Chains A and B, each alone.
Chain A
Amino acid sequence: MGEKVLMKGNEAIAEAAIQAGCRHYFGYPITPQTEIAAYMAKRMPKIGGLFLQAESEIAAINMVYGCSSAGMRVMTSSSSPGISLKSEGLSYLAGADLPAVIVNAQRGGPGLGGIQPSQSDYFQATRGGGHGDYHMLVLAPASVQEMAELTVKAFDLADRYRMTCMILADGTTGQMMEPVSFDFVPGEPVAKPWATTGTKMERKHNIVNSLYLLPDVLEQKNIERYEKYEKIKETETMAEEFMVEDADIVIVAFGIAARVSKNAVIAARKNGIKAGLIRPITLWPYPEKIVAKAAEHAKQFISVELSMGQMIEDVKLAVDGKAPVSLCFRAGGMIPMPEQVYDAIAEADKKLKGGN
Chain B
Amino acid sequence: MVVFEKPHALTDAPLHYCPGCTHGIIHRLVAEAIDELGIEGKTIGIAPVGCAVMAYDYFACDMIEAAHGRAPAVATGAKRANPDNIVFSYQGDGDLASIGTAETVHAAARNENITVIFVNNAIYGMTGGQMAPTSLPGQVTQTSPYGRDPKVCGYPVKVCEMLAQLDGPEYLERVAVNSVANVRAAKKAIRKAFQNQIDGKGFSLVEVISACPTNWGKTPQEALKWIDEAMIPYYPLGVYKDRSKEAAQ
Contacts and interface: CB of A to CB of B under 8 A. Distances in A.
| Direct A–B contact in the complex, CB atoms closer than 8 angstroms | yes
A148 B57 CA distance: 41
A196 interface: yes
A50 B82 CA distance: 11
Contacts of B65: 96, 207-211
Nearest to B75: A66
A63 B74 contact: yes
B73 to A, nearest CB: 4
B42 A200 contact: yes
B60 A205 contact: yes
Contact of B77 (A58, A68, A92, A209): A68
A249 B117 CA distance: 63
A70 B102 contact: no
A50 B103 contact: no
B205 interface: no
A72 B81 contact: yes
Contacts, number: 135
Interface SS of chain B: helix, strand, loop or mixed? Answer: helix
A122 interface: no
* Residue of B40, B60, B70 with most chain A CB atoms under a 10 A cut-off: B70
Nearest to A201: B41
Contacts of A55: 102-103, 105-106
Contacts of B81: 24, 66-67, 69-72, 74
A22 to B, nearest CB: 12
A69 B43 CA distance: 13
B209 to A, nearest CB: 27
A125 to B, nearest CB: 20
Contacts of B76: 52, 59, 63, 66
Interface residues of A, number: 40
B56 interface: yes
A199 B43 CA distance: 8
Contacts of A24: 77, 80-81
A158 to B, nearest CB: 15
Contacts of A197: 44, 62, 82, 85
B67 A59 contact: no
A92 B75 contact: no
* Residue of A71, A202, A208 with most chain B CB atoms under a 10 A cut-off: A208
A199 B63 contact: no
Contacts of A211: 53-54, 65
A65 B70 contact: yes
A32 B67 CA distance: 28
* Residue of B53, B62, B78 with most chain A CB atoms under a 10 A cut-off: B62
Interface string B37-68: 00011111010000001101101111111110
Given A199-B40, A205-B62, A70 B85 contact: yes
Contacts of B79: 66
A63 B77 contact: yes
Contacts of A198: 41-44, 61-62, 82, 85
A69 B106 contact: no
* Residue of A62, A96, A197 with most chain B CB atoms under a 10 A cut-off: A62
A205 B63 contact: yes
B62 A26 contact: no
Contacts of B67: 62, 65, 88-89, 92
Given A58-B73, A198-B42, A207-B56, A52 B62 contact: no
Contact of B64 (A69, A88, A202): A69
A201 B66 CA distance: 23
Nearest to B68: A88
Contacts of B56: 207, 209
A72 B40 CA distance: 21
Given A24-B81, A92-B67, A65 B62 contact: no
Interface of B: 11, 40-44, 46, 53-54, 56-57, 59-67, 70, 73-82, 85, 102-103, 105-106
A-B pairs with lowest CB-CB distance, top 9: A66-B77, A70-B81, A62-B73, A67-B77, A66-B74, A196-B62, A63-B77, A55-B106, A62-B70
